[in-house]
Chain A
């Protein structure tokens, strides 16, 4: 079952990357705690965005551990734990 642009839950109830097939975690887990994440300041991206010296939020980039496709850019408070945004019952 597809659950995301790049992710699906496979027959073994694992969350898997649709691009490279990398197995990430069990379906009942938060995939974001199992993949590389980078903290990025909004003003690293072109366009008028909150400046780093006064920004109240940062961008958390999450990557597929296999192909390093950008899976999500989560807006959050500095130091925030990964948000469990997808928890599909299987």
Chain B
């Protein structure tokens, strides 16, 4: 990462950090290369260790977001905080956490000092990480009086004591509205819990239970990894482990540069749009990327991106790096071990004051989904376009994944168990992935994954119903969300919940896509949509619980309309961001997600595939007829070949009629 003056004491000076000696940066980076076999063995061993530690974090945490959804990251860093190996829970967080160790070294090494067994905590987006929910704990690794590395563990701890419950307040107008921000306090000192530090956070959150579980889960992960690394050192010697930390990064850098070299030079562009800031009217904004690849370097220039929003739809620079890393690690360098080495060939231009590089104290709590998905999406798009220039990579071409959710995401209130809590619905991680092309993966994966956390699962409905004061009316793959193309995108989830057995509960919404198309496709496929369940809404259905007790189970918008006509009620259509508002036990919260992007002209999709899609409720008959030009014989459930041929000719004729070359269209 360019532009940092770190370490401030210079690259040639070492430093006494209290608990041991930190050699100079130049010395740390100098090492005797391990032979290829030993390097492979040790690199995989280290990777297993941090994966085991991540599993420990997930098993100790009781939070549905972490334990069920897998929003937990674990990494090992070198002595100066550069990422050497990562256990990918959230790709988003990895590179963004490096700033924490830099600040610890800069401000704490002289006093109070850094010691064996210290566990530092951060959730400050201006220093590292993405937003206040992303809570990191890290510990130094010392060996015989020398600081040789760091371990770091991060969880998405939903509730942060912000101005609204649930951790991501749509009403935020300043970083100061986004809850507690811990700045490198020692949760543990020399192996002992500092209860004062723990309490200072516990008393600042609406949900001390999940906070405590997540905090202890992170410490448990650190303990597991610390023990395993000590075993590794005792077996192979510290010299080799220090070499391993550096060689991991150098090896990834070398592979990344070689891959860039194998692609044609050129310039590619992509833009993603958003439509909301603080209301009451929409605000049109965009994330624009010009990517220039020259030899073994790639410049990502976000000039042309809109100025910062007044509300929380912004990223600080670490958030932007994190979202770039999502696409780089999962698309461009997916086969290369993920670490700081793979981003060394990248140059980032992010104009200050734009929504990809906002100033200190600007609100930014929505950064991961917005504009984070926009950032990951434009980078994914240019990578797909670059890949065409080398046949070797055609199998890896991937349309942008689902980037758009518009959901009642954050709740707060009393649970059915009688305690105050708050949280986030993780259902939206079940999104459609982007399509590939003929030589690759073909169609996108339905409810496949969330690009920023490719290993994610979604919490079981039963787990959410157990932990949260809500019941589900449905959670399903939503028809017509997938992008229609020669290769279609993956379908995404929709869900509807009803408050249950709670005296008071609020819901807040987040989203984009009501006014501007955000999610996109590639090379002739149409963009994905929110499907057919209507708009995002709170639907009040009079006496709903009484009717449900008698067996009623409305499971689509038409049912709601029929119900309202019979028993009364109303729709409240919501805007992309609606602040927390109280809801009653007769309210249904309806949430939608767009599907994944497709590739190629829908008229090139084999009719038989479209009929299969119809059978799986991926597409509607309307989509089949209007966009794919496929007519199914209702009697046999098979393709009507002649009617399909005629329909496709009609669509092509309409294209001829409507299409005008740009210069002509200006006349």
B interface, how many residues as a size bin?
35 or more
Is the beta-carbon distance between A50 and B516 smaller than 8 angstroms? yes
Is the beta-carbon distance between B389 and A2 smaller than 8 angstroms? yes
CA distance A37 to B269 in the complex (A): 19
Q: Which of B235-293 contact A (CB under 8 A)?
A: 264-271, 273, 275, 282, 284
**Which residue of the partner chain, among A56, A68, A83, contacts B273 with CB atoms under 8 Å?**
A56
CA distance A21 to B267 in the complex (A): 24
**Which residue of the partner chain, among A1, A35, A75, A84, contacts B527 with CB atoms under 8 Å?**
A75
With contact pairs A70-B601, A89-B264 given, residues A47 and B662 touching in the complex (Cβ less than 8 Å): no
Is the beta-carbon distance between B663 and A1 smaller than 8 angstroms? no
**Which chain A residue has the least Cβ–Cβ distance from B494?**
A48
Is the beta-carbon distance between A57 and B273 smaller than 8 angstroms? yes
Is the beta-carbon distance between B391 and A49 smaller than 8 angstroms? no
- Nearest-CB distance from A33 to chain B (Å)? 5
- Nearest-CB distance from A77 to chain B (Å)? 8
Is the beta-carbon distance between B520 and A75 smaller than 8 angstroms? yes
CA distance A35 to B659 in the complex (A): 8
Give how many A-B residue pairs fall within 8 Å (CB-CB).
166
- Interface status of B147 (Cβ within 8 A of chain A): no
- Nearest-CB distance from A25 to chain B (Å)? 11
**Which chain A residue has the least Cβ–Cβ distance from B659?**
A36
Task: Please report whether the interface of chain A is mostly helix, strand, loop or mixed according to DSSP.
Answer: loop
**Which chain A residue has the least Cβ–Cβ distance from B656?**
A68
CA distance A42 to B284 in the complex (A): 16
CA distance A57 to B282 in the complex (A): 12
CA distance A61 to B264 in the complex (A): 27
Task: Give the most central of A2, A35, A73, A89: most B CB within 10 Å.
Answer: A73
**Which residue of the partner chain, among B267, B389, B599, contacts A5 with CB atoms under 8 Å?**
B599
CA distance A56 to B273 in the complex (A): 9
Which residues of chain A are near B659, meaning CB under 8 Å?
35-38, 61, 63, 68
With contact pairs A3-B389, A85-B270 given, residues A72 and B527 touching in the complex (Cβ less than 8 Å): no
- Interface status of B441 (Cβ within 8 A of chain A): no
Interface string of A48-90 (1 = CB under 8 A from B): 1110001111010101010011111101110001111111111
Is the beta-carbon distance between B513 and A59 smaller than 8 angstroms? no
Interface string of B495-537 (1 = CB under 8 A from A): 0000000000000000001111100111111111111111100
**Which residue of the partner chain, among A38, A69, A73, A87, contacts B268 with CB atoms under 8 Å?**
A87
- Interface status of B31 (Cβ within 8 A of chain A): no
With contact pairs A5-B600, A33-B662, A59-B527 given, residues A89 and B266 touching in the complex (Cβ less than 8 Å): yes
**Which residue of the partner chain, among A37, A57, A87, contacts B661 with CB atoms under 8 Å?**
A37
CA distance A21 to B620 in the complex (A): 34
- Interface status of B476 (Cβ within 8 A of chain A): no
**Which residue of the partner chain, among A56, A59, A63, A86, contacts B266 with CB atoms under 8 Å?**
A86
Q: Which of B572-630 contact A (CB under 8 A)?
A: 592, 599-604, 620, 622-623, 626-627
Chain A count of residues within 8 A CB distance of the other chain? 48
Task: Give the most central of A2, A42, A45: most B CB within 10 Å.
Answer: A45
- Nearest-CB distance from A57 to chain B (Å)? 5
- Interface status of A32 (Cβ within 8 A of chain B): yes
Is the beta-carbon distance between B523 and A6 smaller than 8 angstroms? yes
Which residues of chain A are near B522, meaning CB under 8 Å?
5
Which residues of chain B are near A73, meaning CB under 8 Å?
521, 524-527
Is the beta-carbon distance between A36 and B524 smaller than 8 angstroms? no
Q: Which of B270-327 contact A (CB under 8 A)?
A: 270-271, 273, 275, 282, 284
- Interface status of B652 (Cβ within 8 A of chain A): yes
With contact pairs A5-B600, A69-B604 given, residues A33 and B269 touching in the complex (Cβ less than 8 Å): no
Is the beta-carbon distance between B271 and A47 smaller than 8 angstroms? no
CA distance A6 to B385 in the complex (A): 12
With contact pairs A1-B389, A5-B522 given, residues A69 and B601 touching in the complex (Cβ less than 8 Å): yes
- Nearest-CB distance from A69 to chain B (Å)? 5
Is the beta-carbon distance between A68 and B652 smaller than 8 angstroms? yes
Which residues of chain B are near A57, meaning CB under 8 Å?
273, 516-517
* 10 closest Cβ pairs, A-B complex: A36-B659, A47-B529, A48-B530, A5-B523, A38-B658, A88-B266, A70-B601, A47-B480, A70-B524, A56-B516
Besides A6-B600, A61-B659, A77-B284, 5 more A-B contacts (Cβ < 8 Å) are A47-B528, A48-B529, A49-B517, A61-B658, A88-B265
The 29 listed contacts between A and B (C-beta, < 8 Å) are A1-B389, A2-B388, A2-B391, A3-B388, A4-B385, A5-B524, A5-B600, A6-B523, A36-B655, A37-B665, A38-B660, A42-B517, A45-B529, A46-B620, A46-B626, A47-B528, A47-B531, A48-B532, A49-B530, A50-B517, A54-B515, A56-B516, A63-B659, A65-B661, A70-B603, A71-B601, A72-B523, A76-B271, A85-B268
**B contact residues vs A (CB 8 Å cutoff):** 264-271, 273, 275, 282, 284, 385, 388-389, 391, 394, 437, 480-481, 484, 486, 513-517, 520-535, 592, 599-604, 620, 622-623, 626-627, 652, 655-656, 658-663, 665
